[in-house]
Amino acid sequence: MKILAVNAGSSSLKFQLFTMPEETTIVSGIVERIGYDNAAVIFKINGQKFVEDHQILNHKVAVDMVIHGLLERKVIESLDEIKGVGHRVVQGGELFKESAIIDDDVVAKIASLNDLAPLHNPANITGIEAFRKALPDVIQVAVFDTTFHQTMSEDAYLYACPYEWYQKYGVRKYGFHGTSHQYVSQRAAEILGKKDAKVIVAHLGNGASICAVKDGKSVDTSMGLTPLEGIPMGTRSGNIDPAVLMLVSSKEDKTYGEVLDELNKKSGYLGLSGFSNDSRDIIDGMNRGEHRAWLAHQVQVKRIADYIGSYYVYMGGLDAICFTAGIGENAPEVRRDVIKAVKVLGIELDEEENNKRGERMISTKDSKVKAFIIPTNEEVMISREVQRLMNK
C-alpha cells in the first residue's frame, strides 16, 4: 500500500511516498519557492536527485507538478496506487485530540485555529485543498503537531494568567514537533526495552523544543501557545520577559507586532551572534574565538540543561536523553556541552561515539541515564497515522 506524506509551508511543499506497512521510502522531494518564477521541483529516487526549474505560482500547480513527476518518472503507474495522503498540520488546538480524516468540517475547524498559527495553518490548508482536488477519491488525513502533547495535565499546559484568557481565547501551552517527539520517544523505549521509560527528547533544529515523555505520553514540552516559547533557536528568542515588548517598542518607536517579529526572526543564534542563525556557523565562530558565537551556543546549552533538570524532577527520574533533528543529529559540540551541563544526573559522555553519526548510544555503558542520537522521521509517523485510520 502506498501512502503519501505531505508538509505544506507558505512557499514550499515537502513530500515522501512510502510503501506501508513496510515503511519503505519510494521517493521524497520538495517544491521550493512556490509563488515565484524560479520555483524548483526536487525528486530523490534510489539515491539520485532530480531538479527541475519551473514557474509555480500556487500550491495547486505544485501538487500537479508532484503528481506529474511521480507518473512521468514511473514511480507509480497510475494515481490508483496512492491509497492515502497524510498532511502535517501545525496547530490542532483543543479541537483535535488525535489525527483526523479530512472532510469539509475538519478543514473548517483547522481554519478556526488560524489565529493560533497564522503562518502555518493557512499554508497547511492550502496544501490539503490542493491534494483533495487532485486526488478526490483518496482518503486524506490531518496529522497535528499538537496532538501528542494533549496528554499534558493542567499544571503543565496552563499559564498563570487570568483564567478567562484560556476560556475565551484558548491561551495555553500547546507544544509542537509532536510527531518527532512521539517517533523518537517510541524508538528510545524500544532500544531500552522499557515501555514505561522516562525519556527527554531534544528536537534541535532551526526550530527547537524539548519534551518530557513518561509511559509513552507527553507530560510537558518547552514550546507554548506558539513555537516562540522555550529554548533559544535559530532566530527565535525562546523564553523572555513579556515587558521587553513594551520597553523596546517605546524606545525604538515600534509596534508590539514589529518587536514580536524581531523575537521570532532576528533573535536566538542570529540575535546573540550577530551574524548567523546556522549552528554550523556558530560552532565555526566559537572555534575562531568569537565571544558572541560562544555566547549564542552557551545560552542555548544552558537553557536546554534547565529544561532537562526541570523535567527530571517533574517525572521523578530519567532513563534517557535523546538528541534529534538537524542540530541534535549532526552537531557533536552541542550534544557534548549539554551532556556535560547535566552530568550531575548520572550521565557520562562517550566522546568517540558522540563524534559519529546515525542512531547510537553516546553515553558510557555504566551511565545511570543513557544518551542517544535518534534520527527523527516525522513523515513515517504521518504515514502510520494514515494507515491506522484507514484500518479503523
Domains of the chain (ranges, CATH numbers):
2-144 (3.30.420.40), 194-378 (3.30.420.40)
Percent of the chain with pLDDT over 90: 78
pLDDT tens for each residue of 214-255: 999 999 999 999 999 999 999 999 999 999 999 999 999 999
Per-residue burial over 257-276, b = 16 or more CB atoms within 10 Å of its CB, e = otherwise: eebbebbbeebbbbbbbeeb
Position with higher pLDDT, 35 vs 385: 385
Residue 363 predicted with pLDDT over 90: yes
Residue 10 predicted with pLDDT over 80: no
Give the model's confidence band at 63: pLDDT under 50 very low, under 70 low, under 90 confident, else very high.
confident
Q: CB of 179 within 8 A of CB of 143? A: yes
Residue 74 predicted with pLDDT over 80: yes
Q: Crossing angle of helices 279-287/332-341, nearest 10°?
A: 80
- The predicted pLDDT at position 236 comes to 94
Percent of the chain with pLDDT over 70: 100
Give the model's confidence band at 27: pLDDT under 50 very low, under 70 low, under 90 confident, else very high.
very high
Q: Crossing angle of helices 291-315/332-341, nearest 10°?
A: 50
- The predicted pLDDT at position 39 comes to 85
Q: What is the mean pLDDT of the chain?
A: 93
Task: Find the mean pLDDT for residues 310-322.
Answer: 98
Q: CB of 86 within 8 A of CB of 386? A: yes
Residue whose C-alpha cell is 524581531 = 262
How many Cα atoms occupy the beta-carbon half-sphere of 389 within 13 Å? 21
Entry pTM: 0.92
C-alpha distances (whole Å) from 334 to each of 98, 194, 349 are 33, 27, 12
Pick the catalytic residue from 145, 220, 319, 337.
Answer: 145
Residue 119 predicted with pLDDT over 80: no
Pick from 299-308, 332-341, 373-382: least confident: 373-382
Of 207, 24, 10, 285, nearest to 124 by C-alpha is 10
Q: H helices of the chain, where? A: 59-72, 104-112, 121-134, 154-157, 163-169, 178-192, 243-251, 256-265, 268-273, 279-287, 291-315, 325-330, 332-341, 351-354, 378-390
- The predicted pLDDT at position 163 comes to 98
Pick from 32-36, 260-264, 288-292, 331-335: least confident: 32-36
Give the model's confidence band at 330: pLDDT under 50 very low, under 70 low, under 90 confident, else very high.
very high
Pick from 89-93, 149-153, 215-219: least confident: 89-93
Per-residue burial over 288-308, b = 16 or more CB atoms within 10 Å of its CB, e = otherwise: eebeebbbbbebbbebbbbbb
Task: Find the mean pLDDT for residues 67-96.
Answer: 91
- The predicted pLDDT at position 317 comes to 97
- The predicted pLDDT at position 380 comes to 93
- The predicted pLDDT at position 235 comes to 92
SS3 206: coil
Q: How far apart are CA 21 and CA 24, in angstroms?
A: 8
| The three cell numbers locating residue 142 | 490531518
Residue 339 predicted with pLDDT over 90: yes
Active site residue 155: no
